[in-house]
Amino acid sequence: MITGRLFGVGVGPGDPELLTLKAVRILHESPVIAYVSADGRPSVARRIAAQHLLPGHSEINLALPMLPLPELAQAAYDEGASRIGSELEQGHDVAVLCEGDPLVYGSFAYLFDRLGERYPTEVVPGVVSFTAAAAAARKPLVGRAQTMVVLPATLPRDALLAQIGRTDAAAILKLGRNLAKVREVIYELGLSEQAIYVEHASGVGERVLRLVDLTADEAPYFSLLLLPAGRPS
């Protein structure tokens, strides 16, 4: 018997119009869609893709536990992979919706780990949050002989200092409760004037502010700081 195919589908940063044509086609062709939801909240990826879903889809909601215990998360991925695997065994294609790009800071990696060797798998890349943020800020991010680092705000202070200090451009993702720490690092490096804060890039509630104009010490999870490289030489 021929199994179904597993698709990791990037749905982009938030604007439903930033899905690719291919993402929309794969969603329309897949009888089953799957997505992760975290902390008891509705799935972000599903919300982004909602207007492209069809009435006939069956849906698999992989609910990650509230408690940030790695064993619980692994158990949730095990169970999700098993439900997806069962659809694939019945010959149904399954499209896993992923915010941004499936292979950049995505939970798709955990499903791919469990299913990618056993079933035919294809990944549809998507627009990532940091390029959408640069578009929202209307700032060239990196050019010519310049370098860019992409990193999560959850890193320890010293790692942030070292990484940001050695690059031309930076995108610092997942600010959340780490905003105050990241702000300190950026001021220490003398980069506060260039830093741009972007919340919900391209999505509902998009905000773009210079870091120096931002007073809060916490930020939503889907917020980031950009340090554009400036004009290339």
Footprint of a copy of itself on this chain (CB under 8 A)? 8, 10, 12-13, 15-22, 24-25, 101-106, 108-109, 112-113, 116, 121-128, 131-132, 134-135, 138-152, 154-155, 159, 162-163, 166-167, 202, 231-232
Q: Would you say 1 or 145 has its CB closer to a copy of itself?
A: 145
Tracing tokens 């749905």 back to the chain, one arrives at: 11
- Nearest distance, CB of residue 228 and a copy of itself, angstroms: 8
| CB closer to a copy of itself out of 150 and 189 | 150
Give whichever of 70 and 190 is closer to a copy of itself, judged by the CB atom. 70
Residue 178: CB minimum distance to a copy of itself, A: 11
Closest by CA to 61, choosing from 82, 37, 83, is 37
DSSP type of residue 22:
H
Kindly state the smallest distance separating residue 6's Cβ from a copy of itself, in Å: 11
Phi, psi of 217 (to 5 degrees): -105, -5
Position of tokens 């060797």? 117
**In the complex, what is the shortest distance from the CB of residue 112 to a copy of itself, in angstroms, rounded to a whole number?**
7
Separation of alpha carbons 31 and 195, rounded Å: 44
Alpha-carbon span 147 to 128, nearest angstrom: 17
Q: Given the complex with a copy of itself, which of 1 and 70 has the nearer CB atom?
A: 70
In the bound state with a copy of itself, the residue whose beta carbon lies nearer, of 31 and 230, is: 230
Q: Please state the closest distance from residue 9 (CB atom) to a copy of itself, in A.
A: 10
Q: Assess contact for 119 and 4: CB atoms under 8 A.
A: yes
Closest CB to a copy of itself among 16 and 216?
A: 16
Look at the block and give the residue holding tokens 């627009």: 127
Question: Which residue, 105 or 221, has its beta carbon nearer to a copy of itself?
Answer: 105
Q: What is the DSSP letter of 205?
A: T
Distance CA 229, CA 216 (A): 25
Least gap, CB of 2 to a copy of itself (angstroms): 20
Q: Pairing state of beta strands 32-37 and 94-98?
A: parallel
String of DSSP letters for 61-85:
EEE--SS--HHHHHHHHHHHHHHHH
How far apart (Å, rounded) are the C-alpha atoms in residues 131 and 112?
A: 25
Q: What is the residue type of 177?
A: R
Smallest distance, a copy of itself to C-beta of residue 95, A: 14
